[in-house]
Every structure is written in C-alpha cells, then in structure tokens.
Amino acid sequence: MDQLNLTDFDVDQQLLALPGTSLLIFTSVGCSNCRWARQRLPELALPVERLCWIDAEENGGAVQRYGVFHLPALFVVRDGEFHGALRSELSVGAISQGLTHALSRVPDDLP
C-alpha cells in the first residue's frame, strides 16, 4: 500500500489527481493513538490504494478546512471526490465497514 505525506500546500492538488481510494489521516506526534495508527495502519490489509498522512500540528489550514476536532481523524477520498469522515475503530474490519458506508454516500467537493 502506498503512503504519502501531504501538507497544506499540496493536499488538495494530490487528492484531486490520485486515482482510486485514499484514506486521509490527520495525526500529531504528541497523540499516542496517532503514533499507533501511523505504525499499524500500513501493516493492515485495508481496501485502499494509499494512506495519506497530514501532520495536524504543522498544517493548520487543512485542519481547519476539514473540520478536524480530534486525532487521529480519517477521511475518504476516491478518484478526487470527497466521501467525508470515517469514524471507526482502527481495525481492518471497522475501517473496511466504514469505507463501504462512506463510499455509498454521494460525494462532495474537497473542503
């Protein structure tokens, strides 16, 4: 599974151009759940083409646009279309089920 580190400067450009399903994940070094997610999510057999990481401390513009209130925060983007937040446990089953639900929603423009 591919992994990208995105910033305020390239998040929208990258997500609009990437084919397939991306899981956009806001994290912070000071958050223990975020450190766990950063270490473990790449090891899971998730049904996505890539994980896109954003450091919430360094990218306040993206945090504000996406309405991030807690970390880690996950969002689903497929073929440049925004399918909203993914609220689930950080397990293969829960994330897979959340992805199915998110992708069934009518997509919106990126925030």
Is 14 part of a structural domain of the chain? yes
Q: Residue 21, SS3?
A: strand
| CA torsion through residues 92, 110, 30, 52, sign | positive
**What is the pLDDT averaged over residues 44-71?**
97
pTM of this prediction?
A: 0.96
Centre a 10 Å sphere on the Cβ of residue 95 and count the other Cβ atoms it contains: 22
Domain that holds residue 38: 2-104
In a domain, 93, yes or no: yes
Helices marked H in the chain: 11-17, 32-40, 60-66, 92-104
Tally of structural domains, the chain: 1
Q: Give pLDDT, residue 61.
A: 97
The CATH number linked to 25 is 3.40.30.10
User: Is residue 109, in this structure, part of any structural domain at all?
Assistant: no
Q: Which residues pair with 51 in a beta bridge?
A: 3, 23
Q: What is the pLDDT of residues 3-55, one digit of tens each?
A: 999 999 999 999 999 999 999 999 999 999 999 999 999 999 999 999 999 99
